[in-house]
Every structure is written in C-alpha cells, then in structure tokens.
Structure 1
Amino acid sequence: MSDNRVWSYSTVLMGSPVLLKLFSHDEALASRVFSLIKKYEDLFTVNRAQSQVMEINHAAGQQSVVVSRPVYELIKCAKAASMVRDSAFNLAIGPLVKLWRIGFKGDSVPGAQDIAARLRITRPQDVVLDDAAHSVFLTQPGMEIDLGAIAKGFIADRVRDYLHQQGVSDGLINLGGNVQTLGNPQGQWTIGVKKPFADADALVGSIEVANKSVVTSGTYERYFEQDGKRWHHILDPRSGYPLDNELDSVTIISADSLDGDIWTTLIFGLGVEKGCAALRQHEDIEAIFVTKNRDIILSSQRQFRFTQCDDSYHLIDCTV
C-alpha cells in the first residue's frame, strides 16, 4: 500500500512481522528482499530440525562441521561478544533457552538442579572455531548454539547493503525489534519506543534518526507468570535465570544493527550505571534505558533526537 509516496510491504519471517518501506513502488524488489531474509533464516534458525546451525548442534561432542561463510562469521562474532568479561551475551545458551521454553507452550520455572546441569554445557569457550576450514566444533555433548540474539541484526545489515546495491538510497526495514533506516527522507525517520507491558501502540517516546539502526529489547516481549512473579525471555547465562535488575527495556542506536543486537544484551546485563560507563568508551553506540521505576535514561543524544510521549515517566539525560 502507499501513503504519501511511501510504499509498505510486509510478511512474516523469523517468527515476526517484517516490514519494508520504499519510496517507489517495486513489488519485485520487495519480493527479493523477503527471499534474502528467508535464505538467512534458513541458515541460522534453531526452531526447525534442519539448518546449518542445527547441523553443528546435532554434531556436538562428536565432530566439527564445515559451514558457509555467513554462518561462520556470525558465529565468530557471537563468540567474541560471549567472551567479553562478565558478558550477558552467550552464543551457547541454547540448552537454557530450550529448558525455559519462554514464549512457547509448556513454559515454566525449571528446577535448580536442571538449570545447574544446563549451565555446565553453555560455556562459550567450548565452541571451537577453525578459520581456515570454516568449521565449528562443540566440544561437549548436549551443547547448542543459539543465534537468536544476533541473527536479526546481521540480516538487517545485509538487507541494507542489498538495497544500497540496488540503488535504493532511502528506505526502512523492520524485522520486529530491529529497525534499519536508509537515508533521511524529509529530514529524519521517526521510530517509536514502546511502553513496557502496555498496548502495542503505546509509546514512552519516539526518536528521529537517519542512516541508523534502532534495536530494542524488552522484558515485555516474551514472558510468563508463575507464583506471582513474571519470568521474561532475557536469560542471564551466568545464573541460568532471567536477568533481574532495574531495566524493562534497552534501545540501542548505532550504525549497524548487528552492534545493536550485541549491545542490547550486554547493556541489559550491565544495568544503567555500568552500561552508561561502558558506552563512554564507544561514542558510536547510544542507549535509551526504560526502567521499572518509570525512568527514561538517555546515555547521550549524538545520533538521534528523543521526544517523550508519556508524562508518567521521568526523563533523565546523562549526556556524556
């Protein structure tokens, strides 16, 4: 459909609605973009029996598996993020994700012994990479790589690159939590920041960006309630339980969506104070924190402009 010369194309991929916006009507291009996304989804998914990542998982403790360059490079990137000291990012978190089943039928709080057993097979250093052969070996039986925390960012960047190759200077791709903008139509793109645990269209604010990625991760996205407590899908690989701190959501603004994926997880693990301190060393990465106490905290505003939409929240600008 079109709206003031903007054409929108949508489908469902990777378990999420996918939206493409272009400034010219081109159904063929939209179809090629969606096919590109599906090609990468088929390589990375762990929600089906067959994919290159599942080949690695099926061979855990037995043998190495040679994979394609995109799969190898993404796994290498994910391992590097996982090896950061005290990182909340862990590419080997698959056994814990499957144990909790958050967002799937049958989710419940696992027993402490089951969690401890899974933690023993989620060590990222047990993912052995061979750059020459492009092979991956999981040294312990039962290990499973899960790239769910990073795949959308990688794919969003590949779509951006493909659109540039096709001569598209202005556009937007939304992979459900990962928004990658191209160009600066009429000045800026306006992206909403969702209000946690509210109606789908309720916002705490909006940001204006150009040629940037906007990635949001929130405890409200997938969760269940048991024994009077809410259990969300952002697991802490250090404890085996959902991360429990002051945060409801983190939005990362960066050039690449891949960085956005990595930093939303890292920042969730660090919390506001340590997260802001870490971002002072990375001027190209910025964050918007939304807390359980109804604070909106901006690490800085070098690459975007924020407009508050909900007066029940307290806006704090920690410009560095």
Structure 2
Amino acid sequence: MTPDDRVYAYSAVLMGSPILLKLFEHNETLASNVFRLIKLQETKLTVNRQQSEVMSVNHAAGDHAVAVSKPVFDLIRRAKAVSVLENSSFNFTIGPLVKRWKIGFNGNSVPAATDLQALLKITDPHDVILDESSQSVFLHKAGMEIDLGAIAKGYIADVVRDFLREQQVTQALINLGGNVQTLGAGAEGAWAIGLKKPFSTPESLIGVINVTNKSVVTSGIYERYFELNGQRYHHILDPKTGYPLDNELLSVTIISDDSIDGDIYTTLLYGMGVEKSLRYLENFPHIEAIFVTKDQQIIFSSQRQFTFMPLDPDYHITGSTV
C-alpha cells in the first residue's frame, strides 16, 4: 500500500451504536463535521429522548396534528408508504409492540396474548394522517407511536454520503452500526464488508461482500433475542400477529445504491421468505439480496453489484438468479 492509499479511521458512539468513518485523508475537521451531522439528524428522528420532532408527534397522539420539518415529513411519508403495502412486514407504528416485548432491552418473557391483541389495535399505519399542505402528522388513536428506527440509520447514512460528495470526497466508508454506505472503491479496488456468522462471535464471518459505491445492510434474528423453554424469540416482529416472524431465514442482506433501501428491503423481504423475495426482486433490478437460511444455505437474488467470497465451509452457496 502506498502512502496515498492509506486509510484513516474515525469513530464515535452515536444513536446507541459505534459509528465508523473511513477516509483516504487525515482530516479530523471533516470527521467532526460528519459526526455533528449524524447527531443533528438523530436529534430530529429519535424516540429515545422525550424531545424530538418524532416524539412531538407521538406525544400528541389522539389529540392533534403536529407540523414537522420537510425532511422529517418526507421520511415519515416514505415509511408510511412502505408500511401500508399489502402484507408488508415493515410497520413504523409497531413501537408499542416493540416496547412491550423489550427484546434486546432486558425483555425475557412472552407477553400475554391479550396484551398483544390490544396493542395491535394501535399499530395500524393507516391511522397516521399526513397533511401535505401543512407538513403535519396526526396519529389518529391515543397511545399510537411512530418509530423511524427501522429506516433512520439508512436515511442518515445517505445524508452523510451526500455531504461527503459535497465536500469533494470520492472515496469513503461510513458504518452506522450495521448500515454500511460506501463512496467509490476501497484501497484494494473494492470495499470488503463482512457477512456475520449468526449466533457466533462478532469476528466470525460467513463470507465477505465486495462492493464499490454501494450500500450494504444486514438484518438478522441473531442481533437481539432471548430464549425461553427451548424457543428463541427475536426482535423482528410480525406486524399482523405481534409475535416474532418465523420462517426459514437467519438473515437478509441488501446491496443497493441507497442505504435507506437497505433498511426497507431487509424488513420487507424478511417477512416474505426466500421464494417470494426472489420473485419480488425480479421487478427491482437495482436491489440485490443475500439470504442466509437456518439450514445454512446462502442464496443470492443476483450478483450484478457485488462479488462474494465464502469463508465458512458450513455454509453453502446453493442458488442464485442472474
């Protein structure tokens, strides 16, 4: 590696996750500006503080509409559009169910069925009323909450990418706790992104995804879960039943231009399962997926935008469509 190829890494903890920025120049000022930008976006979108634009909407649920800034309104509109798709597993009003389960936040018991049924009544995305003229959001029922957590990291990763481009940066990587967005190529001609081995150590990889100028987002049932009476309960909930989704998948990885698409499609496809997802993606050539199944298969929807190097002999590449 020549001095010109040297990669400089900068890190911070934001949004409850470790954030990593890689640049091909030593520029602490630029790194500080990136972290400041992330913090600003988090302040607008978070539900983990009492005060944010999103929390202002939630506090007014069942009472009145709340005007929000255009970026927040546009993001809420995008989240609603995906949430109301037929049989969508993406639901940005699922917050009350997530809070009841507390999976990943010391939750270790299964809620009563009556509790889940009651909460399902206030998790209908159709009850989010948007007014374009006033850029306001009204949650129709008291107790409703919107949570942009399933889409915010991808959105912020894309905001950072666009900011770096404005600063004339042509090569960089930003990792927002699992949402990886890249500019240009890495030092070796492509950025190498590890695909984690489920239920193993953080360093254990199934393989490496090589991309240039792409986002890589993975969602898996091994990220947050608890076990009770021999059964595993993970954090990816079915918005129709209130219980964790149960199918053949361990993880879904999305390779796309925009990281926000990675957030959306990991959840959508998780709910569909492999077979339906492969058919669905035939209509979306700009989105590619890697599925890892419980019987240790690795399945690609296609391989136009990335290459894959397998590392674990226990997992087998068993099929793809081109």
CA shift, 1:319, in A, is 1.7
Q: C-alpha distance in 2, partners of 1:80/1:4?
A: 42
The residue that corresponds to 2:96 in the other structure is 95
Measured against aligned partners, the alpha-carbon deviations of 1:189-213 in whole angstroms (never above 9, x if no partner) come to 1111000000101011111110000
Q: C-alpha distance in 2, partners of 1:173/1:319?
A: 29
Q: Kindly indicate whether residue 133 of structure 2 is the aligned counterpart of residue 132 of structure 1.
A: yes
CA shift, 1:175, in A, is 0.4
The residue that corresponds to 2:232 in the other structure is 230
Amino acid of the structure 1 residue aligned with 2:127: D
Q: C-alpha distance in 1, partners of 2:45/2:209?
A: 30
The residue that corresponds to 1:303 in the other structure is 305
TM value normalised by structure 1: 0.98
Secondary structure at 2:208's aligned position in 1?
Answer: strand
Q: Kindly indicate whether residue 160 of structure 2 is the aligned counterpart of residue 163 of structure 1.
A: no
The residue that corresponds to 1:84 in the other structure is 85
The residue that corresponds to 1:248 in the other structure is 250
Amino acid of the structure 1 residue aligned with 2:233: W
Q: How does 1:57-206 map to 2 (within 5 A)?
A: 57-185=58-186, 186-206=188-208
Q: Post-superposition, which runs of at least 4 consecutive aligned residues in structure 1 deviate over 4 A?
A: none
Secondary structure at 1:133's aligned position in 2?
Answer: coil
The residue that corresponds to 2:276 in the other structure is 274
CA shift, 1:229, in A, is 1.1
Q: C-alpha distance in 1, partners of 2:25/2:9?
A: 10
| Alpha-carbon contact 1:267-1:275 (below 8 Å) kept | yes
Q: C-alpha distance in 1, partners of 2:100/2:41?
A: 25
**Identical-residue share of aligned pairs (%):** 63
The residue that corresponds to 1:210 in the other structure is 212
Amino acid of the structure 2 residue aligned with 1:304: F
CA shift, 1:177, in A, is 1.3
Moved more, 226-235 or 211-220: 226-235
Secondary structure at 1:92's aligned position in 2?
Answer: coil
CA shift, 1:106, in A, is 4.0
CA shift, 1:108, in A, is 2.1
Measured against aligned partners, the alpha-carbon deviations of 1:222-263 in whole angstroms (never above 9, x if no partner) come to 111122211111111011011110001000000000011000
Amino acid of the structure 2 residue aligned with 1:190: A
Cα RMSD over matched residues?
1.2
| Alpha-carbon contact 1:179-1:213 (below 8 Å) kept | yes
Moved more, 168-177 or 100-109: 100-109
Q: C-alpha distance in 2, partners of 1:55/1:200?
A: 37
Amino acid of the structure 2 residue aligned with 1:231: Y
| Alpha-carbon contact 1:300-1:317 (below 8 Å) kept | no
Q: C-alpha distance in 2, partners of 1:298/1:316?
A: 9
Q: C-alpha distance in 2, partners of 1:14/1:164?
A: 23
Q: C-alpha distance in 1, partners of 2:150/2:63?
A: 26
Q: C-alpha distance in 2, partners of 1:128/1:276?
A: 33
CA shift, 1:3, in A, is 11
Amino acid of the structure 2 residue aligned with 1:319: T
CA shift, 1:4, in A, is 5.7
Secondary structure at 1:187's aligned position in 2?
Answer: coil
Q: C-alpha distance in 2, partners of 1:196/1:105?
A: 20
Aligned length: 319
| Alpha-carbon contact 2:8-2:26 (below 8 Å) kept | yes
Measured against aligned partners, the alpha-carbon deviations of 1:156-201 in whole angstroms (never above 9, x if no partner) come to 0000000000110000000011000000133211111000000101
| Alpha-carbon contact 2:101-2:109 (below 8 Å) kept | yes
Measured against aligned partners, the alpha-carbon deviations of 1:25-44 in whole angstroms (never above 9, x if no partner) come to 00111011001101111111
Amino acid of the structure 2 residue aligned with 1:197: F
| Alpha-carbon contact 2:107-2:226 (below 8 Å) kept | no
Secondary structure at 2:283's aligned position in 1?
Answer: coil
Secondary structure at 1:19's aligned position in 2?
Answer: strand
